[in-house]
Amino acid sequence: MSRAAVATIHLGALRRNLARVRERVGAAKVMAVVKADGYGHGLERVARALGDADAFGVAALGDGLRLRAAGIAKRIVVLSGPDEAGDLAEFRRLDLDAVIHHESQLRWLETDRDPRALHAWLKIDTGMHRLGFAPDVARAVHARLLALTNVDPDIVLMTHFAASDEFEAPATLAQIGAFDAAVRDVPGARSLSNSAGLLGWPQALNTESGQNWIRVGGLLYGLSAIDGKTGADLGFEPAMTLSTKLIAVNRVRRGARVGYAGAYECPEDMDIGVAAIGYGDGYPRSAPSGTPVLVGSQRAAIAGRVSMDLITLDLRNVPTANIGDRVVLWGGELPVETIAAQAGTISYDLTCGMTKRVLFVEDDA
């Protein structure tokens, strides 16, 4: 093995997290969002592990192609829909659902002569102001879709929350109200909630229109969608453990400076460990001195700047550390949310950031 950096993907945790989601949503269907290569966990392996989901949500047509090529027969929803008119034939060939969110996509469908029925989701912009039709045209757009013989009449109505992780803010209630008003008496299943919406907004499950689909991403991977909380705090298990090994332990004198720009000054004579991981593997360069790691079962901390291939560690709390000892960067007893907070980012960013140098292994427990 040329590199010691390993991402262990816990397939059992994925399955148990999906089961926990189902306990919360009752009869609603669950779309497992597996975009961004399964939030960095591996698209195909995640889809296989989450085979009990009712559908998979992906960001792009290419992800749908990958899943079909891997033998995934489950319903697949491309959350940004077709990017050009020529995509429609591929959507139909692969039997992919398309989210329709823009007038250009609607015109492509209206001029398309392919008689095969496309499965469509109509996205309404209730406040995110990113993708979707304005609420005041939602009925007209739905009618245009329903009039097309090349669109399946079972059209799902959806929106996306902009601030559902802010449980005290009024924005989400306003979005729920705008959605209900826009689609009142319009036939079709509804889909409002993401992970944070599931946790904090039961109103979205009991809207005037009713909700039939939940779109869940981060929680399936044990990642928190709530600032200041870990996935474990919310009752979910981390699905990734990132680890490496110590490749050197050096005694360094008090006052000596460690790493690029001498960013860390040793406060006393101490052992500095060197672990085989860096930003070339996807570990965040922005992680400062003091960011925790686990050496064996003991906490140590980064000392100095993260390099492309290596990190240096303050081992004063691990006096028995030796070359070859396992170093955990996140997972289990060291939540990825803790590292993300230190690095000034979110957990999703870290798990999605693993590079091809990292060896991925599966743990089925």
d(CA 156, CA 75): 13
Q: Are strands 55-58 and 29-33 parallel, antiparallel or unpaired?
A: parallel
In the residue annotation, 245 being an active-site residue is answered as no
Instruction: Count CB neighbours of 91 within 10 A.
Output: 22
Q: Are 34 and 57 in contact (CB under 8 A)?
A: yes
In the residue annotation, 39 being an active-site residue is answered as no
Buried b (16+ CB within 10 A) or exposed e, 64-77: bbbbeeeebeebbb
Q: Cα angle vertex 55, ends 53, 60, to 5°? A: 130
Residue 14's contacts (CB-CB under 8 Å, 6 or more residues apart) are 41, 46, 49, 50, 220, 221, 239
Spot the catalytic one: 35, 245, 264, 348. 35
Residue 187's contacts (CB-CB under 8 Å, 6 or more residues apart) are none
Burial of 38 (0-12, 13-18, 19+ CB in 10 A): buried
d(CA 38, CA 41): 5
Q: Which residues are catalytic?
A: 35, 260
